[in-house]
Amino acid sequence: MKGHIRERSPGHWAIVIDARDPQTSQRKRRWHSFTGTKREAQIRCAQLIAEAQGGAAVDPSRITVNQFLDRFEHDWVALHVSAASAQRYNTSLSRVRHHLGDRRLQALRPADLAGLYATLVRAGLAPRSVEHIHVVLHRALRQAKLWGLLRDNPADLAKPPAVDDEEITILQPDRARELLDRLRGQPLYLIASLGLATGLQRSEILALRWRDVDLDAGRLRVEQALEQTTAYGVRVKGPKTKHGRRTISVPAHVVVELRAHWRAQQEQRLALGTGKAPSDSPVLATF
């Protein structure tokens, strides 16, 4: 068995592996696409030869949709998206697996995807959910193309069902005041007050620590958020982007509410014998 590389365009290589079928002795040639330097392409060529000789290589033409999605979730999703997003990917792709998992990846056609979307809609799935499945599947098949497993992405030509535009209802000032009046004295009051005053997401509010809040300056710093997934339960995570870390001004009336909450929290901790709350304790802890 041997292999060589050919440069298709600057930084883009074709890796050609020549082998013989052990039963028929016929020569068989496999092509793989690779992006990188010449040295990296040579290394990848050697790896492919080693995999083929060790029996670990799989002929791309025989890979099923399920086999590819296993690799996609293990080698791409796990490294590039958050745990919460990975869970949504898994949910969407599970429907693809159910309907098309046994199909050969390279035999997948736009008509197959159109049939999948129609089947899901007829089964009662909302068009917006089907659209999300299309987005995730399109991303997966784009990666298959980049990995040299597909020549074309069938999702480029498959269209999900149309989704009706939904007008978002915005809470008006009078309704916001009514909401706060109804919640006053309840555990959810401070969450609602902070959210309305700062625009923070619920996950960001729940992850606030006293060290992130400067009551004297009337501002807070968003440094983290909570997320809940099946795999990891509830855990703290950093913002998705550098812009997620930001400083936000806090209105005077909310500063007053936070000071009152801090005092009540300290009194409760002292009554329980736990001492003063450390600076890294959650603002919205029960004690």
Domains, the chain, in order of start with CATH, read 2-57 (no CATH), 65-156 (1.10.150.130), 173-272 (1.10.443.10)
Query: pTM above 0.75?
Result: no
Three-state DSSP class for residue 264:
helix
pLDDT at 235: 80
Cα–Cα nearest to 113, from 138, 91, 144? 138
pLDDT recorded at residue 21? 64
pLDDT confidence of residue 144: 92
C-beta neighbour count of 146 within 10 angstroms: 14
The answer to whether residue 79 scores a pLDDT higher than 80 is yes
Binned at pLDDT 50, 70 and 90, residue 247 comes out as very high
Query: To 10 degrees, the CA torsion angle through 93, 95, 99, 104?
Result: 0
Q: Give the pLDDT band of residue 105 (cuts 50, 70, 90).
A: very high
